[in-house]
């Protein structure tokens, strides 16, 4: 059974994309022209018009029988989930923020609570069409003449090209997700709990379909275990919770009881449970103050709005001016996600909580789905990692001092960090971590004239 959704403009969208590429002078770097972003590294401003992707934002086809979807590269997960959920299907991994695009999650390595069983978003890609630096759109699959590009596209961040269409796998989902918030009083027990759940797919006799966690302090941390259900479970809530209003999801996790705290969300609300308050970052804008929250329209309590507020602050230096009035240097932005092998995760968390004044911290376990490795982000197959996310600012001083310390510690513990935010690596260290030789070969083949910025220049020099 195939269901075609009402998006018929993708051919025109590709034509406009190609025309906009051809219109950019060869001496100018090629960029996307997009209104929203989930990147947190600065970009050098350009006066050159970017690529026109306005016609590549929709869902093309959902094939219910094959459990696949053909999706435009600039389609957001919010729009994709809206198309698939009524059919009882969802992407294998739904990144936690609504405006993340399919192309962005694949080229920039998205993640979520299903990643301990389903890997990363690019691992459920069957094939994809990519606009390369030669100005042509090619189809890349793991078994065709562009297999090298298929393997090298993840973590390339638009430096090798942009996805115009992706065919991805889908999985069946139920109406609700039943949650258990399990408290741990030390970080070693927390990591042992992750290991046991990832190994068995269960906890206390109940299946675990989704797994993530939050660390508040050394002796207060939680794993949230999600299970797909079609009706409320015995011993749990009979009505689904709603965290899009006055209640705040991450605060609902905390408890003192010995038994897990249970909760129930619709699958839709579970997918976007972190978006309403941008995890916990909405507190920086006062959106968690009950008085302000009552006046803050619910449609504006979402990550895309908070991101615009951050961009406005950075553009005009509002926070820096406020610190200057207090006699302080600008605060350092520490907005990062890092992947640590599970066996080193507790050690990193102890170091981080000692050295970096940021809390809470998000945890998301992951394992690659199969035996394959990926050229530009070399995780080991059959090995458990934990994504550790922390997003705030710290007192200022020497520019980048905290971020550099985090990079060093992550490297010492055999980890990697995502490249969506500030990076400070030397070229040598960067190439060692992110597939330098493989990347150079891909760049010379698929972007021989350097139309797209180099990955190192994008990640470190804000090209």
Tens of pLDDT along 50-69?
888 888 999 999 999 999 99
**Taking residues 202-228, what's their average pLDDT?**
97
Same domain, 143 and 255: no
Q: How far is CA 23 from the centre of its chain?
A: 32
Average the pLDDT over each of 5-9, 143-147, 288-292, 329-333 and give the range with the smallest value. 5-9
Q: Report how far residue 235's alpha carbon sits from residue 213's, in angstroms, rounded to the nearest whole number.
A: 22
More confident residue, 82 or 41: 82
Reply yes or no on whether the pLDDT at 233 is more than 90.
no
Which domain range does residue 169 map to?
Answer: 3-173+449-461
Domain identity same for 46 and 146: yes
| Average pLDDT for 35-55 | 67
Nearest to 198 by CA among 223, 170, 172: 223
Identify whether 124 is part of a domain.
Answer: yes
Query: Is residue 122 included in any domain, yes or no?
Result: yes
* Mean pLDDT for the chain overall: 92
User: Are both 127 and 219 inside the same structural domain?
Assistant: no
- Predicted TM-score (pTM) of this structure: 0.93
- Residues 54, 123, single domain; the answer is yes
Same domain, 113 and 98: yes
Residue 326 maps to a domain = no
Residue 432 and residue 452: Cα distance in Å, rounded?
A: 21
Q: Residue 289 falls within a domain, yes or no? A: no
Both tokens of 167, joined, read 């065919």
Indicate the range of 30-44, 253-267, 343-357, 398-412 predicted with least confidence: 30-44
> Among 256, 273, 290, where does a domain finish?
273
In the predicted model, what is the mean pLDDT of residues 383-397?
Answer: 94
Distances, alpha carbon 296 to alpha carbons 153, 218, 276, 354, in Å: 40, 33, 12, 35
Question: Could you tell me if 104 and 118 lie in one domain?
Answer: yes
End-of-domain residue from the set 247, 273, 299? 273
Instruction: State yes or no: pLDDT of 223 exceeds 90.
Output: yes
Are residues 141 and 152 both part of a single domain?
yes
Instruction: Name the residue with higher pLDDT: 44 or 433.
Output: 433
pLDDT of residue 452: 94
The reply to whether 89 falls in a domain is: yes
Domain count for the chain, please give it.
2
Q: Please check whether residue 219 is in contact with residue 186, taking contact to mean a CB–CB distance below 8 angstroms.
A: yes
pLDDT at 6: 47
Q: Place 370 in a pLDDT band, splitting at 50, 70 and 90.
A: confident
DSSP strand pairing (32-33 vs 51-52):
parallel
CATH label of the domain that carries residue 106: 3.30.465.10
Chain-centroid distance of CA 146 in Å reads 26
The residue assigned the tokens 């230096």 is 317
Rounded to 5 degrees, what angle do the CA atoms 159, 9, 150 make?
A: 30
Residue 414 lies in a domain: no
The residue length of the chain stands at 463
130 vs 6, more confident: 130
Q: Are residues 189 and 202 in the same domain?
A: yes
pLDDT above 50: residue 353: yes
Q: Tell me the percentage of the chain whose pLDDT exceeds 90.
A: 78
Same domain, 197 and 150: no
Q: Looking at the structure, do residues 267 and 156 belong to the same domain, yes or no? A: no
Query: Quick one: what percent of the chain has pLDDT higher than 70?
Result: 95
pLDDT class of 5 with cuts at 50, 70, 90? very low
Looking at residues 322-333, what average pLDDT do you find?
A: 87
Q: What is the pLDDT of residue 323?
A: 81
- Whether 377 is in a domain gets the answer no
- Cα R_g (the chain), whole angstroms: 22
User: Do 164 and 60 fall within a single domain?
Assistant: yes
- Domain final position from 273, 301, 336: 273
Residue 7's pLDDT is 45
* 144 belongs to a structural domain: yes
Model pLDDT, residue 42: 61
Is the model's pLDDT at 4 over the cut of 60? Answer: no
The answer to whether 29 touches 451, Cβ cutoff 8 Å, is yes
Check whether residue 18 and residue 36 sit in a common domain. Answer: yes
């Amino acid at each position: 059974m195939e269901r075609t959704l009402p998006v018929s403009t993708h051919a025109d969208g590709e034509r406009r994309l190609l025309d906009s590429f051809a219109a950019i002078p060869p001496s100018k770097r090629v960029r996307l022209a997009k209104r929203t972003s989930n990147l947190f590294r600065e970009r050098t401003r350009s006066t050159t018009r970017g690529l026109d992707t306005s016609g590549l934002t929709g869902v093309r086809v959902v094939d219910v029988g094959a459990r696949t979807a053909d999706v435009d590269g600039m389609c957001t997960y919010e729009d994709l989930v809206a198309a698939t959920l009524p059919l009882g299907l969802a992407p294998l991994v739904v990144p936690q923020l609504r405006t993340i695009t399919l192309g962005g999650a694949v080229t920039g390595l998205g993640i979520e609570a299903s990643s301990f069983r389903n890997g990363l978003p690019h691992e459920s890609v069957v094939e994809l069409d990519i606009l390369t630096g030669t100005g042509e759109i090619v189809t890349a699959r793991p078994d065709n003449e562009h297999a090298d590009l298929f393997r090298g596209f993840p973590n390339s961040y638009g430096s090798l090209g942009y996805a115009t269409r992706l065919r991805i796998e889908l999985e069946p989902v139920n109406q609700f997700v039943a949650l258990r918030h399990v408290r741990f009083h030390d970080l070693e027990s927390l990591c042992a709990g992750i290991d046991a759940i990832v190994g068995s797919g269960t906890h206390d006799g109940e299946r675990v379909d989704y797994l993530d966690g939050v660390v508040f302090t050394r002796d207060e941390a939680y794993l949230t275990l999600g299970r797909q259900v079609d009706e409320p479970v015995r011993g749990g809530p009979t009505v689904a919770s709603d965290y899009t209003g006055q209640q705040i999801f991450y605060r609902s996790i905390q408890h003192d009881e010995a038994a897990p705290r249970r909760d129930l969300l619709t699958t839709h609300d579970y997918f976007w449970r972190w978006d309403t308050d941008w995890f916990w970052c909405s507190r920086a804008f006062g959106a968690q103050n009950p008085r302000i929250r009552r006046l803050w329209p619910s449609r504006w309590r979402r990550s895309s709005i908070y991101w615009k507020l951050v961009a406005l602050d950075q553009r005009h230096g509002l926070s820096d001016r406020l610190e200057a009035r207090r006699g302080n240097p600008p605060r350092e932005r520490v907005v990062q996600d890092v992947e640590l092998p599970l066996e080193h995760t507790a050690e990193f968390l102890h170091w981080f909580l000692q050295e970096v004044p940021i809390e809470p911290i998000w945890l998301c376990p992951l394992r690659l789905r199969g035996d394959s490795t990926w050229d530009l982000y070399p995780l080991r197959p059959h090995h458990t990692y934990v994504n550790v996310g922390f997003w705030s600012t710290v007192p200022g001083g020497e520019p980048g001092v905290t971020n550099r310390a985090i990079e060093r510690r992550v490297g010492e513990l055999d980890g990697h960090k995502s490249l969506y935010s500030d990076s400070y690596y030397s070229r040598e260290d960067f190439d060692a971590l992110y597939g330098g030789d493989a990347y150079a070969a891909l760049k010379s083949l698929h972007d021989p004239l350097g139309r797209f910025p180099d990955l190192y220049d994008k990640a470190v020099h804000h090209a």
